Amino acid sequence: MPVQQIAFLVWLLFAIIIAAVFGIIGWRSRQKVDVSPARVNRFRILLLVILLVLSVIFWAYTLPKVPYPTEARQPDMVVFVTGKQFNFGIATHPMPTEKEWEEVVNFGEPVVLPRNKLIEFRVTSLDVNHGFSLYDPDHLLIGQVQAMPGYMNRLRYRFTKPGEYTVLCLEYCGNGHHRMRGAFTVQ
Amino acid sequence: MRARFFCTLTLIGCLTMPLAAGKGTSAGLAGQPLKPGIPREDFYIFRKIPDAPVFTLERQTSIYRLLEKGPLLFTLVYTRCNGVCYPMIRSLRSAVERLGGLGTDYRILVLSFDPRDEPEDMAAMARVEGLSGHPHWIFGTTGPENIRQLVASVGYWRQPDSLKQQVNHPAVLIGLNRNGQIVRFLVGASIAPARLAEVIKEMRGEFVPSYPLPRKNVIFSCFQYQADKGLKLNWGFALLLMPGVVTLGGSLWIFHRGAHQRRSAPGGF
Amino acid sequence: MEATTIQSTRQPEPIILIQETTLTGEEQAQFKKLTLVWLTTALALFPILVILGLLMRGSQAAILKMSPELFYAFMTLHGLGMVGIWYIAGMAGAGLLLSRYVRPSLALSRGVFWATLVAVVLLIVATLIGKFITGWYFLYPLPLYPADVWKPWATLAFFAFLTIAGVAWTLWTVDYLRAIASRYSLKRALAWDVLFKKVKESDVPPMILILTVSLISALAGFLAAVVLIALFAAEALSSGFTNDALLMKNLVFYFGHVLVNITMYLGVAMVYELFPAFAEKGKLTTKWMVAAAWNASLLLVNLAYFHHLYMDFVQPGLLQKLGQIASYLVSVPAGVVTIISVLSLAFGSRMTWRLPSLLFFLGVMGWAIGGMAAVVDSTIVVNFRFHNTLWVPAHFHTYYLAGVVFMILGFAFQYAAELSGKAENLRLGRWLTALLTVGAYGFLSMFFYAGAHSVPRRYAVYPSEVHQGAGYAQVAIVFILLILTGVIIYLWEYGRRCVHAFSAHSH
Ligand code: HEM
Ligand SMILES: [Cu+2]
Ligand SMILES: [Cu+2]
């Protein structure tokens, strides 16, 4: 199940519980019941403890999985990504200047990446912030990193699914933001 | 009254600080001017450096043999340099002394790209920089054909300047991992410890997910993250902390001032 | 069940305008009027900004055709406008409630009002006419890349708006703090006597605690904006210097995150102060849990903003993880404490549910649901796939629209009702609440659903890869129309009461 779906369902579950509790309490406001403050307090502490324990479990489960690798394993292939209003230059060679970027964007060969290999995307921008994203052949967002002027961000990914991948811009960058894109193939 | 004056002054200070300080650091370490022809690491990243013999006063070895003992920080110089070579070595030395790890995590190889340089010349250079006989700083020469190969493999260039009887060349420090692959370039004569720390990390086998590229005239850089040493306070970081600190001070002051009114007001607490 | 006669209308009981006040007669009248002016200004702008939202959804639904420049102008104006009006409405309401205990400055509030009006005009001019379209957080260095879309004067107008609003609101914030300080010491305002168990409970109301926490945080946020504007100016005015994109990003999200959080807290402060009266119970006191939760928020609100930078890999990894932990801890304790307080007040109270109390109650629910969505998104692995998708607008629209907006609508209605003394039609109140709630959650669910289906935020039109976004937008439009209907009915009822209040006074 994609991460998105899990996250959505977790949220939905909590949202339904919250709504149900508010609904029930709202309904129960119609009868006179005396609640002792001590009981409310006990309940409050209980709930807090439960949620904090849940949080710690969540952290223990998710924090080791952050998308920032720690080990400098040798990537099998390096791909260079340079954003500029309103296109992504994607190539197997770097494009440090506007001229080279234009070359890639206008005449560059589409990049083909091998499957099950560690790919390093070296992402930067020549003007404003852009968002480099990976949309898989089913148009599911599978990861992203910011393309920042003056910085080199390194995203590592191992593709398992072959097909056409799309790059959409995920940081608002001006009036052509929604048109800004790129593509590559995984074989 | 005095307190109020002081606070106004602090506020004005805070507001103008970026402007004033921006001018001050413009030539500083953050901004290395980007000349055309600067070696760009992206073109060479993860490529393997060719092997070459290394001749020092004491012994003869080779780059690959040196790599067997661990990663290398590698740079090219020539001893007759009136320009960037000596300052770069000096800056590298002070950065290395601050960061530590030399000898355990990596060693430093300084090779001459000038065929006229002899091992004696390189030893003299080491002496000038106070590194004579240092076990982890290797100053050596190599053969002319090897120089050509090495220079080509890292995108280095040399440009004889007949007028000054000098050779123009860039200052580049290259991080090699234990496989002899290029992991990072640091360009410029002054080596920022924070940047060097990233190179060392990467050479050691840790992944550095991001780093600043050589940039022009950056007013403040933000986090200077140093391996093992945590966050370093610099101007940019200070600016980020400033709102919090000023707020803390400001709130304390507001409530301190309120104390007078609390005492005088009827029904005060 | 007893066959009690179900009353269909109710006289408003004095809940906001109780006797307790520090103001003298004339001053109080002026203060009341000014508060009404503030609230009315915000409420009058609200439907306009909702219509901008409707138009944006129309473009995304591929129903309306508009130029991208116009779309992004709407987006920038809508975002900043909404954030702004709810901040001022929250501050104005909080000010009125504060005057029960301390004396905020009337003159200053008036000055801030005029400055805000000027700022609003500048914002409208900069975005709608000048096409300064950088989005609500004007991420560096976009404002310095106008291309041919906007002229330098628009940039200038925009930064003038920021500066004027920023300075005015900073002063406003400082004044409220000053007012609190003139009666309570910092230790008492932050309930440290309770926190460190010197006393079991404090007679300093929870509202004062929450406002102190909020105002101090807001001050830090505004100062971050000051630094940000100064750095922008330094780059624009001096030739040859550039800023560090990472530093600028940290600053803008520090500011933006705090501002949004604080607005929420202003609504929550109102709930703490007023909901007990709606539930016909005694005032809440500041107990240990309340003190601990809100002090934790004060401490952590400075760290939680890191969750906006998860996808900037250059941010040190330690701070990223700290950001995740802080994001959980800043929302969970304060949320739980507040929610349980409100629920326990309502439970078994036999309160009469009227429009304001319903909106307060549901507002707290919206805060909880939106907060939960925020917590999900502040998990780094999730953010890897949610960052800058419609999940982001989804969660903040939830705790804004279905949270603090509900609370402030409740507050403003109660206020106008008390001023006018006009009876409230209970049935209408319930229908109106239902309309707003169904509209809001329908509209929000489409944002959530789209976010979970990889649809990016801030797209004027959706490219074919995420064409599903258009379908969700079409459904959303129906619900937005429900909200808009609800808002118009609300404003009609609110307006009638305001008019009545004034005509009753002026003879
Ligand atoms: C019925 C009411 C509302 C509607 C229909 C609406 C609609 C929208 C839409 C369509 C967007 C653009 C989403 C995207 O594609 O990124 C948006 C953005 C936004 N809205 Fe709303 N909204 C409503 C209420 C509010 C409220 C109450 C707030 C309170 C602060 C708010 C604050 C914002 C902000 C800050 C943005 C982001 C602007 C940006 O990305 O620069 N909205 N809204
Ligand atoms: Cu872009
Ligand atoms: Cu973009």
Distance CA C94, CA C219 (A): 16
Q: Classify the C-alpha dihedral A39-A41-A44-A50 as positive or negative.
A: negative
More confident call, B158 vs A118: A118
Asked if the structure places residue B196 within a domain, the reply is yes
Question: In which band, very low, low, confident or very high, does the pLDDT at C282 lie, cut at 50, 70 and 90?
Answer: confident
Among C82, C136, C453, C485, say which to mutate for ligand 1: greatest number of ligand atoms within 8 Å of CB.
Answer: C82
For B234, nearest residue in chain C (alpha carbons)? C247
Question: In which band, very low, low, confident or very high, does the pLDDT at B4 lie, cut at 50, 70 and 90?
Answer: very low
Distance CA B207, CA A19 (A): 44
Domain count, chain B: 1
What are the φ/ψ torsions at residue C166 (nearest 5 degrees)?
Answer: -60, -50
Mean pLDDT within C138-142: 91
Question: In which band, very low, low, confident or very high, does the pLDDT at B36 lie, cut at 50, 70 and 90?
Answer: very low
Asked if the structure places residue B8 within a domain, the reply is no
Q: Which alpha helices (DSSP H) does C61-181 contain, by range?
A: 68-98, 106-124, 152-181
User: What pLDDT sits at residue C6?
Assistant: 54
- What token pair was written down for B88? 């770069």
- What token pair was written down for B120? 């004696």
**Cα angle for residues C28, C31, C37 (degrees, 5° grid):** 145
Asked if the structure places residue B228 within a domain, the reply is no
- Interface pTM, i.e. ipTM: 0.94
User: What pLDDT sits at residue B21?
Assistant: 35
Mean pLDDT within C124-137: 93
Q: Which alpha helices (DSSP H) does C238-354 contain, by range?
A: 245-278, 288-304, 317-346
Instruction: Count CB-CB contacts under 10 A for residue B1.
Output: 5
Fold category of C67-351 in CATH: Cytochrome C Oxidase; Chain A (1.20.210)
C314/B257 touch (CB, cutoff 8 Å), yes or no: no
CB distance C500 to ligand 1 below 6 Å: no
Instruction: Count CB-CB contacts under 10 A for residue A46.
Output: 11
Asked if the structure places residue B4 within a domain, the reply is no
Parallel, antiparallel or unpaired: strands A141-147 and A130-135: antiparallel
Q: What's chain B's average pLDDT?
A: 75
Mean pLDDT within B142-165: 80
Q: How far is the CA of C396 from the centre of ligand 1 (A)?
A: 9
Q: Does C230 touch chain B (CB under 8 A)?
A: yes
More confident call, B223 vs C215: C215
User: What pLDDT sits at residue B216?
Assistant: 61
CA B176 to chain centre: 16
- Is the confidence at residue B265, as pLDDT, over 80? no
Distance CA B220, CA B19 (A): 11
CB distance C269 to ligand 1 below 6 Å: no
What range does the domain containing B111 cover?
35-212
Q: What's chain C's average pLDDT?
A: 90
Q: What is the value of pTM for the model shown?
A: 0.88
Question: In which band, very low, low, confident or very high, does the pLDDT at B233 lie, cut at 50, 70 and 90?
Answer: low
The strand pairing partners of A88, in sequence order, are: A83
Residue whose C-alpha is closest to residue C398's, from C368, C433, C370, C417: C370
Mean pLDDT within C189-195: 90
CB distance C487 to ligand 1 below 6 Å: no
User: What pLDDT sits at residue B12?
Assistant: 41
Asked if residue C342 lies in contact with residue C368, where contact means CB atoms within 8 angstroms, the answer is: no
Chain C residues touching residue A88 (CB < 8 angstroms): none
- A171 → closest Cβ in C353, C388, C462: C388
For A123, nearest residue in chain B (alpha carbons)? B210
Asked if residue C451 lies in contact with residue C390, where contact means CB atoms within 8 angstroms, the answer is: yes
Residue whose C-alpha is closest to residue C342's, from C362, C356, C328: C362
Residue whose C-alpha is closest to residue C316's, from A66, B231, B204: B231
Q: How far is the CA of C82 from the centre of ligand 1 (A)?
A: 8
CB distance C444 to ligand 1 below 6 Å: no
Dihedral angle, C-alpha A123, A125, A128, A132, nearest 10 °: -30
CB distance C397 to ligand 1 below 6 Å: yes
Most confident of B163-177, C13-27, C141-155: C141-155
User: What pLDDT sits at residue B163?
Assistant: 66
Parallel, antiparallel or unpaired: strands A141-147 and A181-186: unpaired
Mean pLDDT within C313-325: 80
Mean pLDDT within C473-485: 96
User: What pLDDT sits at residue B217?
Assistant: 57
Q: How far is the CA of C441 from the centre of ligand 1 (A)?
A: 14
Distance CA B95, CA C401 (A): 53
Asked if the structure places residue B114 within a domain, the reply is yes
- What token pair was written down for B212? 């600043």
Q: Could you give the 3-state DSSP secondary structure of residue C456?
A: strand
List of domains in chain A: 3-65 (no CATH), 77-186 (2.60.40.420)
Min Cα separation A68/chain B (Å):
6
- Give the rounded percent of residues in chain C with a pLDDT score beyond 70: 98
Could you report the per-residue pLDDT of C342-391, keeping only the tens digit for each?
998 888 888 889 999 999 999 999 999 999 999 999 888 898 999 999 99
Token pair 């004067």: residue: C153
Q: Give the CATH number for residue B72.
A: 3.40.30.10
User: What pLDDT sits at residue B164?
Assistant: 66
Asked if the structure places residue B230 within a domain, the reply is no
Q: What's chain A's average pLDDT?
A: 90
User: What pLDDT sits at residue C327?
Assistant: 84
B220/C312 touch (CB, cutoff 8 Å), yes or no: no
User: What pLDDT sits at residue B101?
Assistant: 79
B209/A78 touch (CB, cutoff 8 Å), yes or no: no
- Is the confidence at residue B20, as pLDDT, over 90? no
Q: DSSP code of B77?
A: E
User: What pLDDT sits at residue C25?
Assistant: 78
The strand pairing partners of C326, in sequence order, are: none
Mutate to test the interface with B, among A152, A154, A156 (most CBs of B within 10 A): A152
- A178 → closest Cβ in C244, C349, C463: C463
Token pair 């661990």: residue: B70
Q: How far is the CA of A169 from the centre of ligand 3 (A)?
A: 4
Q: Classify the C-alpha dihedral C397-C398-C403-C409 as positive or negative.
A: positive
- Is the confidence at residue B260, as pLDDT, over 80? no
- Is the confidence at residue B78, as pLDDT, over 70? yes
- What token pair was written down for C91? 């501050």
Most confident of A63-67, A80-84, B254-258, C203-207: A80-84
User: What pLDDT sits at residue B7?
Assistant: 42
Mean pLDDT within C27-34: 88
Asked if residue B195 lies in contact with residue A132, where contact means CB atoms within 8 angstroms, the answer is: no
Residue whose C-alpha is closest to residue B111's, from B83, B85, B82, B130: B85
Could you report the per-residue pLDDT of C211-233, keeping only the tens digit for each?
999 999 999 999 999 999 998 98
What are the φ/ψ torsions at residue C420 (nearest 5 degrees)?
Answer: -90, -25
Could you report the per-residue pLDDT of A108-160, keeping only the tens digit for each?
888 999 999 999 999 999 999 999 999 999 999 999 999 999 888 989 999 99
User: What pLDDT sits at residue C332?
Assistant: 84
Distance CA C155, CA C164 (A): 14
Phi-psi category of A83—alpha, beta or left, where left has phi over 0 and alpha has psi -120 to 50? beta
Question: In which band, very low, low, confident or very high, does the pLDDT at B3 lie, cut at 50, 70 and 90?
Answer: very low
Asked if the structure places residue B10 within a domain, the reply is no
